[in-house]
Amino acid sequence: MSLSTLRPTVISSPVLGRPLDPRANSLNLIRLVLALAVLFAHSWHIVGAGHGPTFQGENLGGWAVAGFFGISGYLITASRFGNRIGPYLVHRVARIFPAFIVCLVVMAFVFAPIAYLVQRGSLDGFMSTPTTPLNSVFANLSLRIVSYDVAGTPAGVPYPGAWNGSLWTLYFEFMCYLLVALLGFLPMVRKSPWPIIAAFILSVLLWANMEMLRPLMQSNTDFELAARLIPYFLGGAVVQVLSPRIGIHRVAGPVAVLIAAAFIVWVPGFGGQLAAPFIAYSLLWISTWLPQPVIVSKHDISYGAYIYAFPVQQMLAVFGAHHWGVWWFTLAATLLTVPLAAASWRLLERPIMRRAKKSA
């Protein structure tokens, strides 16, 4: 989603710093870097080299997802408060679902048949072997990923049985969209930043007390994942609702980086969630001075890179590229993922979003 499409709720200048310029930032580049960081983190799993770089118990991919959710919380909250509920939901559905569904189809009817042919020498039984290709698409249409393989592929690789280990986060991303949609109905949420701040604090407390709540929820995985990720989204939302008062400042940016690092290092278990507003603010600050190529500013391929990287990596592994080692494997996967991401953006994502904007 391009920041230039948002309509801020408050136009007046903040007391501290300057408002984030929707046309003079490098958020597209930052999100692309985060998507490629997820690709790199997954390379370690897919080549069978372990979990890869970790920091405070979370691998690089997990921290990249946290960054995604923080930026998304900032942008989507602005979108909700700048639009009626109808256009807001149309924009959100248009941004997530079409490219996601096409990705499911590509995995089921392009990637999987090739892997099946490599594994078995023919396509006999491909359409009827569990998980059948049609069922793999239908079962995952709601964003909640319940089927990771297609016709038993990929197999014979270090990380078998999963074509896409990245898509699961989209379910929780859309859950956050709906959460903000509901909060936007409350008049007090639009008048004061405190309800969003309170929601963020409550989300952090929820995650901080997960050990106590886990038995009450029967160790429900969806509940735990939502509790883990929602604070990052609401952290970005906090920055958005405070933006009329606190803009992007050259001193506040580095201070936010230090505070985020301190919380992550010194607060065990929930330091990352507690640091969420500072993580989001840090990324926004970086976007004000990090140079961004013109082509990246015009073409946001980060979503396409995120959803296609894992199947590209698994396809490489099917053909034995996992023997190349993490670094060469990552380079090859990046070079193959970027064209797919660009095609997704040019042929699907951008046209659909433009149509949604005109119709809403």
**How sure is the predictor about 5, in pLDDT bands with cuts at 50, 70 and 90?**
very low
What backbone torsions phi and psi does residue 55 show, to the nearest 5 degrees?
Answer: -145, 120
**Average pLDDT estimate for 186-190:** 90
The continuous run of DSSP H or E covering 35 comes out as helix 27-46
More confident residue, 155 or 8: 155
Whether residue 12 is predicted with pLDDT greater than 80 in this model: the reply is no
Q: Which of 2-11, 151-160, 184-193, 219-228 has the lowest mean pLDDT?
A: 2-11
Counting Cα atoms < 13 Å in the Cβ hemisphere of 273 gives 22
Share of the chain above pLDDT 90, in %: 92
- Tell me the per-residue pLDDT of 299-347, one tens digit each, with 9 for 90 and over: 999 999 999 999 999 999 999 999 999 999 999 999 999 999 999 999 9
Instruction: Report how far residue 59's alpha carbon sits from residue 93's, in angstroms, rounded to the nearest whole number.
Output: 29
Closest CA to 228 of 62, 39, 74, 96: 62
Per-domain residue ranges of the chain: 3-121+133-158+165-359
pLDDT at res. 359: 79
Hey, how many other C-beta atoms are within 10 angstroms of the C-beta on 262?
Answer: 14
**How sure is the predictor about 1, in pLDDT bands with cuts at 50, 70 and 90?**
very low
- Tell me the per-residue pLDDT of 139-170, one tens digit each, with 9 for 90 and over: 999 999 999 999 999 999 999 999 999 999 99
Q: What is the DSSP string of 155-208?
A: -SSSSTT-S-SSTHHHHHHHHHHHHHHHHTT-HHHHH-SHHHHHHHHHHHHHHH
pLDDT at res. 358: 85
**Alpha-carbon Rg of the chain, whole angstroms?**
21
pTM of the model: 0.94
pLDDT at res. 3: 39
Q: Which residues contact 1 (CB under 8 A, 6 or more apart)?
A: 75, 76, 79, 91, 95, 300, 353
Whether residue 133 is predicted with pLDDT greater than 90 in this model: the reply is yes
Whether residue 215 is predicted with pLDDT greater than 80 in this model: the reply is yes
pLDDT at res. 11: 43
Cβ atoms of 163 and 149 within 8 Å: the answer is yes
**How sure is the predictor about 33, in pLDDT bands with cuts at 50, 70 and 90?**
very high
**Average pLDDT estimate for 207-235:** 97
Instruction: Report how far residue 244's alpha carbon sits from residue 161's, in angstroms, rounded to the nearest whole number.
Output: 48
Q: How many residues does the chain have?
A: 360
Q: What is the DSSP letter of 132?
A: P
Whether residue 2 is predicted with pLDDT greater than 50 in this model: the reply is no
Cross-strand partners of 248: 18
Which amino acid does the sequence have at 251? V
**Average pLDDT estimate for 196-225:** 96
